[in-house]
A and B are shown apart, each in its own frame.
Chain A
């Protein structure tokens, strides 16, 4: 146990050191990709909780992200910014003067998203797998439609722009405060999920995933556990959404279509549907790849410019993984020092010795 804590602290220390190094050496473009990757880690890990660990295919993630993003934005903008944005139809009066600092606004975004998760989960989580998928997808779309139509609250399709970025991290003013906030959130998310999943609570969730009837017979309150998983999952989705809004500096309802959920689903499946470390690695790699593979669209090695080829490649990738590597990268297992050392041992060992 002590060893685990020490290793974890070392890992966190390494991550912080890498961050400090990167944020001084990387240019804005790379830093942005890095932050985007971090936000996608939060999305992927939170989706994995309900989809991978509890085995409930919930496709409404984009909706919760939207709730977090809009809540954060409406809280963090001052009234001048709001009047500039709401030039078409004035904002609802009680929101106009609300002005919160960065951290409370982000947390509130998470809380409201969690609340949405509760409201949606309660009726819908009683449904069986396939129906749940469509129902949650539907809810995601309903949330987006509502945001599009409520002009006086969300500015509808005009969207909101000039969302401010935090200027200080933990009361220390610094230029790349945002990067620190994002990755702190990432670390907290990952640690929280690790702890949750290895607790008895997490075991109950996995039991539900493996065999619902058996779990119920063993006394697990299925419904309560599912709802909690949904609420936690949507809470973190909301946090990620708030951070995304800050990174993009502008949001509008079209950002939160089913395509967003699909992208996160892709990341989760690639990384392994029951593995947190898998989601982390997958999120970082996929985000970087999405940018790197831009050249596919522009034409290379004599191939003509074929816009859209990137997405075809990604869809194919999802299909290939699902068909041939359904466990994804990490399957159900987590990355641990044991595994890493074993991997290296395997490289060096002779075949004869293994069979011994």
Chain B
């Protein structure tokens, strides 16, 4: 493999990885607070993508407005899902809430099929994002620069909010100890809604960028990316936001490089992500950046 080929693959890997990273943040935040794998997180990608598509398609809005609306609506949907499907089950066994999450995921997918039909829709990518540059023989679309940049910027913003603001402190408190936080007067419901809101907003941004990178919308488009982003979050240490980003990049890069070095195994690409998950769970279940949590009896 020549250096140029490697660089090309590397660029692709970073691009894919940063998308995974952005969406993984949402997973990890929700898990940190509620210890819940929000299966429906992947569907937020789909929701945002379709809203962005339809606002442009039907209302012919300029892209920056349509993206903004998509993010807002997806955030609301995320909060709604939490209120309707997860909140009533907070005192139920974990299995129940997991099943509810799976149910929401399937519900949204099938609703998508009914509303949007299974036929893929072509996403219009604004020209700002679709310029192709050639650097030293490596071809990169402008989008490839935007995605990691936006991811890192959002990450920095988020870390700042979590560490330096009052609401961030409240979020950390609830993540650390749910019951004590509510005893201390923190409005736990509000914090949870905020968490879901932020997570869904990030997923929405990720979803819009995803559809710009892969401009084809189907109702089931969020399922596999959702699962992979969860794997990325676990890889980096679930509950740890920086870990989610690290995990995302690692997953994206290894996925691309696997096929690059072993093209015969290209059909196993998805399976590879799961194998990676199982390996990390067996070797270091807390993830790369995770801390050991002693389980209280």
Asked if A and B touch directly (CB within 8 angstroms), the answer is yes
Instruction: Tell which of B53-61, B94-102, B151-159 binds the partner.
Output: B94-102
Assess whether B103 is in contact with A315, with CB atoms less than 8 Å apart.
yes
Contact of B35 among A126, A130, A148 (CB under 8 A): A130
Minimum CB–CB distance from A219 to chain B (whole Å) comes to: 16
- Chain B residues with CB under 8 Å of A307's CB are 113-114
Chain A CB within 10 Å — which of B100, B102, B282 has the most? B102
Assess whether B274 is in contact with A141, with CB atoms less than 8 Å apart.
yes
Assess whether A322 is in contact with B234, with CB atoms less than 8 Å apart.
no
In whole angstroms, how far apart are the Cα atoms of A4 and B150 in the complex? 67
Assess whether A316 is in contact with B274, with CB atoms less than 8 Å apart.
no
- Chain B residues with CB under 8 Å of A311's CB are 106, 110, 113
In whole angstroms, how far apart are the Cα atoms of A318 and B85 in the complex? 11
Q: Which 4 A-B pairs have the closest CB atoms?
A: A138-B274, A315-B107, A311-B110, A145-B271
Q: Which residue of A lies closest to B275 (CB)?
A: A142
* Interface residue range, chain A: 35 or more
Minimum CB–CB distance from B28 to chain A (whole Å) comes to: 13
B89 within 8 A of A: yes
* A-to-B contact residues, CB < 8 Å: 51, 55, 57, 123-124, 126-127, 129-131, 133-135, 137-139, 141-142, 145-146, 148-149, 213, 262, 265, 269, 273, 306-309, 311-312, 314-316, 318-319, 322-323, 326
In whole angstroms, how far apart are the Cα atoms of A123 and B278 in the complex? 8
- Chain A residues with CB under 8 Å of B234's CB are 131, 134
Q: A129-B94, A319-B85 are in contact. Are A148 and B285 (CB under 8 A)?
A: no
The B94-146 residues at the A interface (CB cut-off 8 A) are 94-96, 98-100, 102-104, 106-107, 110-111, 113-114, 118
Assess whether B274 is in contact with A133, with CB atoms less than 8 Å apart.
no
- Chain B residues with CB under 8 Å of A315's CB are 103, 106-107, 110-111
B231 within 8 A of A: yes
Per-residue CB proximity of B41-54 to A under 8 Å, as 1/0?
Answer: 00000000000000
* B-to-A contact residues, CB < 8 Å: 31, 35-37, 84-85, 88-89, 92-96, 98-100, 102-104, 106-107, 110-111, 113-114, 118, 227, 230-231, 234, 267-268, 270-271, 273-275, 277-278, 281-282, 285, 297
Assess whether A273 is in contact with B95, with CB atoms less than 8 Å apart.
yes
Q: Which residue of B lies closest to A57 (CB)?
A: B95
Assess whether A322 is in contact with B106, with CB atoms less than 8 Å apart.
no
Q: Which residue of A lies closest to B273 (CB)?
A: A138
Contact of B93 among A55, A134, A135, A312 (CB under 8 A): A55
Assess whether B110 is in contact with A312, with CB atoms less than 8 Å apart.
yes
- Chain B residues with CB under 8 Å of A134's CB are 37, 227, 230-231, 234, 277
Assess whether A141 is in contact with B270, with CB atoms less than 8 Å apart.
yes
- Chain B residues with CB under 8 Å of A262's CB are 102, 106
Minimum CB–CB distance from B3 to chain A (whole Å) comes to: 31
Q: Which residue of A lies closest to B84 (CB)?
A: A323
Assess whether A319 is in contact with B103, with CB atoms less than 8 Å apart.
yes
In whole angstroms, how far apart are the Cα atoms of A123 and B277 in the complex? 12
- Chain B residues with CB under 8 Å of A129's CB are 94-95, 98
Minimum CB–CB distance from A234 to chain B (whole Å) comes to: 17
Q: A123-B282, A134-B230, A138-B277 are in contact. Are A269 and B271 (CB under 8 A)?
A: no
Assess whether B271 is in contact with A146, with CB atoms less than 8 Å apart.
yes
In whole angstroms, how far apart are the Cα atoms of A139 and B276 in the complex? 11
Contacts A/B (CB < 8 Å), 10 sampled: A57-B99, A124-B281, A138-B273, A141-B270, A308-B110, A312-B110, A315-B106, A316-B107, A323-B100, A326-B89
Q: Which residue of B lies closest to A139 (CB)?
A: B274
In whole angstroms, how far apart are the Cα atoms of A137 and B95 in the complex? 15
Contact of B285 among A127, A265, A273 (CB under 8 A): A127
- Chain A residues with CB under 8 Å of B92's CB are 326
Assess whether B281 is in contact with A213, with CB atoms less than 8 Å apart.
no
Assess whether A130 is in contact with B94, with CB atoms less than 8 Å apart.
yes
Contact of A57 among B98, B118, B278 (CB under 8 A): B98
- Chain A residues with CB under 8 Å of B281's CB are 124, 127, 131, 135
In whole angstroms, how far apart are the Cα atoms of A262 and B105 in the complex? 11
Q: Which residue of B lies closest to A306 (CB)?
A: B114
In whole angstroms, how far apart are the Cα atoms of A273 and B231 in the complex? 27
In whole angstroms, how far apart are the Cα atoms of A138 and B89 in the complex? 26
- Chain B residues with CB under 8 Å of A139's CB are 274, 278
In whole angstroms, how far apart are the Cα atoms of A283 and B268 in the complex? 33
Assess whether A318 is in contact with B103, with CB atoms less than 8 Å apart.
yes
Q: A130-B35, A306-B114, A322-B96 are in contact. Are A149 and B268 (CB under 8 A)?
A: yes
Assess whether B268 is in contact with A133, with CB atoms less than 8 Å apart.
no
In whole angstroms, how far apart are the Cα atoms of A185 and B231 in the complex? 38
Q: Which residue of B lies closest to A214 (CB)?
A: B297
Assess whether B114 is in contact with A312, with CB atoms less than 8 Å apart.
yes
Contact of A137 among B31, B110, B114, B227 (CB under 8 A): B227
Chain B CB within 10 Å — which of A127, A129, A311, A312 has the most? A312
Minimum CB–CB distance from B258 to chain A (whole Å) comes to: 13
In whole angstroms, how far apart are the Cα atoms of A308 and B85 in the complex? 22
Q: Which residue of B lies closest to A258 (CB)?
A: B223
Q: Which residue of B lies closest to A129 (CB)?
A: B94
Minimum CB–CB distance from A164 to chain B (whole Å) comes to: 30
Assess whether B89 is in contact with A323, with CB atoms less than 8 Å apart.
yes
Chain A CB within 10 Å — which of B31, B36, B285 has the most? B285
Minimum CB–CB distance from B230 to chain A (whole Å) comes to: 6
Minimum CB–CB distance from A47 to chain B (whole Å) comes to: 12
Assess whether A135 is in contact with B277, with CB atoms less than 8 Å apart.
yes
In whole angstroms, how far apart are the Cα atoms of A146 and B269 in the complex? 11
Assess whether A142 is in contact with B98, with CB atoms less than 8 Å apart.
no
Chain A CB within 10 Å — which of B94, B106, B110, B234 has the most? B106
Q: Which residue of B lies closest to A52 (CB)?
A: B95
In whole angstroms, how far apart are the Cα atoms of A137 and B271 in the complex? 11
- Chain A residues with CB under 8 Å of B113's CB are 307-308, 311
Chain A CB within 10 Å — which of B95, B113, B114, B231 has the most? B95
Q: Which residue of B lies closest to A148 (CB)?
A: B267
